[in-house]
Structure 1
Amino acid sequence: MPLSDRGLVLLGLVLGSFCTPLGSVAPGNYSKGHLTEAAPSRADALNVLLIIVDDLRTSLGCYGDKLIRSPNIDQLASHSLLFQNAFAQQAVCAPSRVSFLTGRRPDTTRLYDFNSYWRVQAGNFSTIPQYFKENGYVTMSVGKVFHPGISSNHSDDSPYSWSVLPYHPSSEKYENTKTCRGPDGELHANLICPVDVADVPEGTLPDKQSTKKAIQLLEKMKTSTSPFFLAVGYHKPHIPFRYPKKKIRQSYFASVSYMDTQVGHLLNALDDLQLTNSTIVAFTSDHGWALGEHGEWAKYSNFDVTTRVPLMFYVPGRTAPLPEAGEKLFRYIDPFDSISELMEPGRQVKDLVELVSLFPTLTGLAGLHVPPHCPRPSFHVDLCREGQSLLKYFQLHDLEEDLTLRGNPRESIAYSQYPRPADYPQWNSDKPNLKDIRVMGYSIRTIDYRYTVWVSFNPHEFLANFSDVHAGELYFVDSDPLQDHNMYNDTRGGDLPKSWTP
């Protein structure tokens, strides 16, 4: 059945944004890099601390969730520019991380699963840490930054992205070990369990180890003559939901609070080492997580609960005044204190933004040359970015101005996508391998609606056929914020609501 005229307009937007001519592309040369200007010195360069959390939706106090105890992240938000509507480009770990760390969309990285390396499969695309490294920064990775395995060449993209070997906590390998003590007194494996740290091999947990290692690296870099780019990837609240037993709240929310304690210790160390005045702090997640919405307890979709993520930037002197001598911006706060103050976030942006904007935004905030927009196709271009720079939101200088920034919300759009092996659910519907992908769902999110078309996809040519539409979804978020009522069939060929303004 034909789409309405306005539906065709919107489908054209999808086509223009996602679909690029794809041909055979040879892997690029692994050249040393793209030095664009003199390497910055410690005196005039800002450091970067990038914190990436796994499977974290916007269930945080600073995003209005009163059920969550996240005082340390909320404290960071109070000194940051916070983006209320930031979206990942695919709601699964490896494709999302490769996408925002290269600044390219999944259709360009050609990664929709966990089983290929973009430098071989698509092109020799530069990454955010690689670009900082090539511009004089010491770049370091702690924990889960790139997804481990084939998707980062079993090396976390070393040596291209990192100055030193990436660090992974030794306790990672015990993820599926029986550490949950049951009523029978025996240890069991479980996706949800509070643990006695004494029952865990090595007597620690991965995120605790990552925090300790990151603080050690900060201590070393305090006396360095070079600026640093430190990426710290936390595993929680990814399943299994394991957290120390003294935190008695169950499952996801308790894991968020446990992760918040680690962020608090890390930021407190930044203060103690007197690096707060010279370090940009960016905080985000690879994607969200459904907690029962649409009958799901997972990611693997285009709905807001799985694609919307927290995103905030602390920039010394721009998002908050520089702290005076002896003043602490990031004092550690125990999430489980009986009395904890509720901190309001700093400036907030309502416009919709995307994680592919991290590359141009971080480089611009650090004073480096912002890589150019990518041409179409861009498989032959090592250094470019498909995301929009968010620097315009940092231009206000009066820190006493209204706390809510509003651009033109009808011009802000975020794109996401998700692959399926078939039109109907089957055993591999959530995580199909590339060879099994037959349908791709391309989603446009505006301030008013989420619109998705499911179209045929050829995994051998990496090509979507937008003339073969299998299904569609349309949700009006003002009246249907949980996106439960699909209006697609109700609007095809008929009059659309007045709020429809593609």
Structure 2
Amino acid sequence: MKNLITLCILMGFVMSIHAAKKPNVLFIAIDDMNDWTTLFDDNNPIKTPNLKRLAARGCFFTRAYCTTPACNPSRVSILTGLRPSTSGVYSNGNAWKSLLPNVVTLPQHFKENDYATIGAGKIFHHGGTGVDRKDKPSFEKFFPLQLHANKPKHNYNGYRRGDKKIGALAHYGWDWGVHDVDKQTDEYTVNYINKVMAEYPKDKSLFLAAGIFRPHLPFWAPPASFARYPLDQLRLPPMPRNDLNDVPPIGRNMSRTEGFIWDNASKKAPEHPGSLKKMVQAYQAASDYSDEMVGRLLDQLDKTGRAENTIIILWSDHGYHLGDKSATVKFTLWEKANHVPFIIVAPGITKPGTRCDRPVSLVDIFPTLNELANLPVKVELDGQSLVPLLKNPQMNWKRPALMTQNPGNHAIRSDRWRYIRYKDGTEELYDHSKDPWEHENLASNPEYKAIKEQHKKWLPKNEKAFR
């Protein structure tokens, strides 16, 4: 009897140790970061040493794509595992709480499986349509985004507040420039998350979400970030004349979303604080600054000793055009608005320094984390687990990435090609082996008819109506 009691005690001890080793999750979101960073290529102008440092720990997906190039629907897709064509959440104006009242979100799923869920910053989209549900909160504790913290009295970019001729550029939300203040928006977020990492009991499995707002407009960054991007050495994207001549009307209209930015900034002299060149400089500095925030999170994770038992996942909700395609927005189906940084570090699964070149979608995040944490399977998800690619990044992967910008407008990205089909049947096709900036639309060339047909089969068969 004594031996049996001892055995039971030992078994209970072993089971408690095993339960304590359930992996933590550090879920890092970045807002509006495109692929023109040194994470993708050391020759790119935007310096992201901390993203490279994170990638060196696990697997960097070099061809990862958002499901839709807008904050609210992209984040809803990631957090619910549902594409816009399934959920009906297509735009920043769609209230996901009304369209998906009973959906179980990713952090909520972890909470229901004995994880403490704590977050801060921009995870869901801010504003009335994007914020989390009050009656079914995804997080046990959440420190809200300190949006536009310590904003200046006047715009740095020289556009005067209240000037109706310049559209929304008159608002500080579309400002850019050196923001020399004691503490910015993302520092509040990172300080809160780092405090949780330092103080939260290690015997409780933790799903910790940090939403970094930069480089989203306003493109504010401290002087040290700007110093790394001197204006006389600044690189602008290629902007060939008449680039949009072979683009269908719907595509051109997408590029004109928030056209007031392009219309004003592109006409200013380069030295003007509101010029396109100054805007690009500010975006690069703001991206650099967001990379610094990632570094602070990694430093704290290492300091607390949690790293060896923590899955780290980093993503950006979509990319951003910086004058390429005559656009200074994200709401298009072209590469620069869709292609994003995406890194997974899974202890015991990922091999440090791995690069996976297979096209994947951010809708795959939910099923991937679900499998990595060994949680109950959710069959209703649209994505598929990327764990097989984490184990073998070179494996055959037939499914391309699908992007949507409102019903009927979709892009398919395979290893080599980007195929776009708009709701009126017009098309674009780009060969990324020769044309990474997508300057030549090949869709009308009969030589590529078979390529288009191969990609068409991946378009959604059914779509929720826009409401």
Tell me the TM-score normalized by structure 2: 0.74
The 3 A distance-change label for structure 1 pair 39 and 473 is: farther
- The equivalent residue for 1:407 is 395
Amino acid at match of 2:346: V
- For residues 58-98 of structure 1, what are the alpha-carbon distances to aligned partners after superposition, in whole Å with 9 as ceiling and x for unaligned? 23322114322211111000111111111111101001000
Kindly indicate whether the alpha-carbon contact (under 8 Å) linking 1:319 and 1:347 is maintained by their aligned counterparts in 2: yes
- The equivalent residue for 1:45 is 22
| 1:162 positional shift | 3.2
Amino acid at match of 1:361: T
In the alignment, structure 1 residue 360 sits paired with structure 2 residue 356: no
Kindly indicate whether the alpha-carbon contact (under 8 Å) linking 1:282 and 1:312 is maintained by their aligned counterparts in 2: yes
The 3 A distance-change label for structure 1 pair 320 and 63 is: same
- The equivalent residue for 1:268 is 299
The 3 A distance-change label for structure 1 pair 42 and 407 is: same
| 1:406 positional shift | 1.9
Give the aligned length.
376
The 3 A distance-change label for structure 1 pair 159 and 260 is: farther
Unaligned residue ranges in structure 1 (runs of 5+): 1-37, 183-187, 198-202, 322-345, 373-383, 397-404, 420-438, 456-468
Matches within 5 A, 1:443-458: 443-455=411-423
Identity of aligned residues (%): 30
Partner of 1:258, secondary structure, is helix
- The equivalent residue for 2:198 is 219
- For residues 103-152 of structure 1, what are the alpha-carbon distances to aligned partners after superposition, in whole Å with 9 as ceiling and x for unaligned? 00001221122233334224522111010000000111210000022333
Aligned-partner Cα distance in 1 for 2:57–2:338: 25
Amino acid at match of 1:408: N
The 3 A distance-change label for structure 1 pair 357 and 181 is: closer
Tell me the TM-score normalized by structure 1: 0.69
Alignment partner of 1:393 out of 376, 389, 396: 389
Partner of 2:154, secondary structure, is coil
Kindly indicate whether the alpha-carbon contact (under 8 Å) linking 1:142 and 1:166 is maintained by their aligned counterparts in 2: yes
- The equivalent residue for 2:40 is 63
- For residues 12-68 of structure 1, what are the alpha-carbon distances to aligned partners after superposition, in whole Å with 9 as ceiling and x for unaligned? xxxxxxxxxxxxxxxxxxxxxxxxxx9997523100001000001123322114322
Instruction: Return the structure number with greater helix share.
Output: 2
Kindly indicate whether the alpha-carbon contact (under 8 Å) linking 2:105 and 2:138 is maintained by their aligned counterparts in 1: no
- The equivalent residue for 2:187 is 208
The 3 A distance-change label for structure 1 pair 417 and 116 is: closer
The 3 A distance-change label for structure 1 pair 211 and 134 is: same
- The equivalent residue for 2:177 is 193
Kindly indicate whether the alpha-carbon contact (under 8 Å) linking 1:412 and 1:447 is maintained by their aligned counterparts in 2: no
Aligned-partner Cα distance in 1 for 2:412–2:376: 30
Partner of 1:294, secondary structure, is coil
In the alignment, structure 1 residue 107 sits paired with structure 2 residue 79: no
In the alignment, structure 1 residue 130 sits paired with structure 2 residue 108: yes
- For residues 367-386 of structure 1, what are the alpha-carbon distances to aligned partners after superposition, in whole Å with 9 as ceiling and x for unaligned? 223322xxxxxxxxxxx200
Kindly indicate whether the alpha-carbon contact (under 8 Å) linking 2:118 and 2:140 is maintained by their aligned counterparts in 1: yes
The 3 A distance-change label for structure 1 pair 162 and 497 is: closer
In the alignment, structure 1 residue 73 sits paired with structure 2 residue 51: yes
Partner of 1:351, secondary structure, is coil
Partner of 1:69, secondary structure, is coil
| 1:445 positional shift | 1.4
Amino acid at match of 1:362: L
Q: CA RMSD in A?
A: 2.7
Aligned-partner Cα distance in 2 for 1:454–1:194: 39
